[in-house]
Structure 1
Amino acid sequence: MDGDTISRLAYLAIILVALGGWAMVEFRQRMGQALRMVAAWGLIFLAMMAGYGLWTDIRSDIMPTQMVSTTGAIEVPRAADGHYYLTLEVNGTPVVFMADTGATNMVLSRDDARRLGIEPDSLLYVGEASTANGVVRTARVELPLVELGPFRNESFPAWVNDAEMDGSLLGMDYLGQFRLEIDGDKMVLRQ
């Protein structure tokens, strides 16, 4: 163990001793009540851990991911919210995009731009885009490598949105290189 881990364990031990000491003083006449409370909090903690474990197991059912079929097509299942989400590798970093056939360009949220090493505050926002929320300022960037399964694009243009966004959008400048097909609850991309 390194020094950081030891200091964290020591800090947690101090907190545990302080809480244990407080419980002993507070409940010295009512130890049965104290044990029931400890058991209740223990069960709450176990339920939270079980919930987290269950969430990691079912997350792929709630927000399914794309797969490459045997024919080389990308099959993207519809998510519970009715949208299609694709995970692209941008310079080796996975970025989740919502497929938006109403958008012209690939648009990065400020958070995704930061994850890719682009500092949004240092960009020159000279472009404008009309959105459902009004006109927003945009800055053009170039992504050295964008990959979706077996498909690769080098020096792909994208725009960083100056407004807050929940996630990044995959517009028609990227989707337009594929033949799009909606087949039941999945979107199929072929080249």
Structure 2
Amino acid sequence: MAAIAAMVLGLFGSLLLRPLPALGKTMRVASTLLLVAVLGLIVLQLSRNDPRFSMAVPALGYPEQVVEGGETRVQMARDGHFWLEAEVNGHRANFMVDTGATLTAVSQTTAEAAGLEARSGGLPIMLRTANGTVSAQSASIDELRFGNVAARGLDAVIAPGLGDTNVIGMNLLSRLASVRIEQGELILVPNNPQPPLPPAE
């Protein structure tokens, strides 16, 4: 919407260049600045998904994303997927590990139980689900714990179209030193090995 508004503003500015040159130029400059701001926000959101370019901007609600802990092993379930029990801000929930998912996603139910709120000012993210394309809002998870791994400040999306399913995606997995499967077991190894995590209270 902001990009469309900026283009409309620029169009009106161009039409006003002859009758009202000062106003026309001002509107065109404002249009350009607004488009640059939208582009900057898009680049910032996309960069958060890549650990090589991830940026922490606390003033905009983008905390540093840290994944640490120790090796964690997950047995393959009967359905052929890898499921694990995690804690989202202290709330227990089951997650499916999905290397085909770009983002970690939580259901609306899990988000509400864990106290997750959509990030204000963020752009909506379009997700493809079994039920079609849905609009999701981005959020930050203070702490996501599973096995011996803890992720803090992790970006996630609140996806109402997922039903009750929660997904751990590549924005978390790519921050690990290695992700491999051996004899029906998923092995997750963080880049920053730490002593075993104490049990959650």
Partner of 1:28: none
**Unmatched segments (≥5 aa) in structure 1:** 1-71
Deviation (angstroms), 1:148: 2.6
Q: Distance in 1 between matches of 2:73 and 2:93?
A: 17
Is the Cα contact below 8 Å between 1:128 and 1:135 reproduced in 2? yes
Give per-residue Cα distances to partners, 1:69-122, cap 9 Å, x unaligned. Answer: xxx4211001111110122222122221101111000100111112212478x9
Is the Cα contact below 8 Å between 2:72 and 2:149 reproduced in 1? no
Q: Distance in 2 between matches of 1:131 and 1:167?
A: 11
TM-score, structure 1 normalization: 0.55
Partner of 1:155: 153
* 1:119–1:91 Cα change, 3 Å: closer
Q: Distance in 1 between matches of 2:83 and 2:162?
A: 19
Is the Cα contact below 8 Å between 2:104 and 2:169 reproduced in 1? yes
Q: Which entry has the higher C-alpha Rg, 1 or 2?
A: 1
Partner of 2:61: none
* 1:176–1:164 Cα change, 3 Å: closer
Give per-residue Cα distances to partners, 1:116-142, cap 9 Å, x unaligned. Answer: 12478x9x8822123343211101111
Where in structure 1 do 4 or more consecutive aligned residues deviate above 3 Å? none
* 1:118–1:152 Cα change, 3 Å: closer
Partner of 1:173: 171
Q: 1:141 aligns with which of 139, 151, 165?
A: 139
Partner of 2:96: 98
Partner of 1:75: 73
Partner of 1:114: 112
Identical columns (%): 31
Give the aligned CA root-mean-square deviation in angstroms. 2.4
- Number of residue pairs aligned between Structure 1 and Structure 2: 119
Give per-residue Cα distances to partners, 1:119-171, cap 9 Å, x unaligned. Answer: 78x9x882212334321110111111122333322221110113242410111
Partner of 2:125: 127
SS for the counterpart of 1:163 is helix
Q: Distance in 1 between matches of 2:173 and 2:141?
A: 16
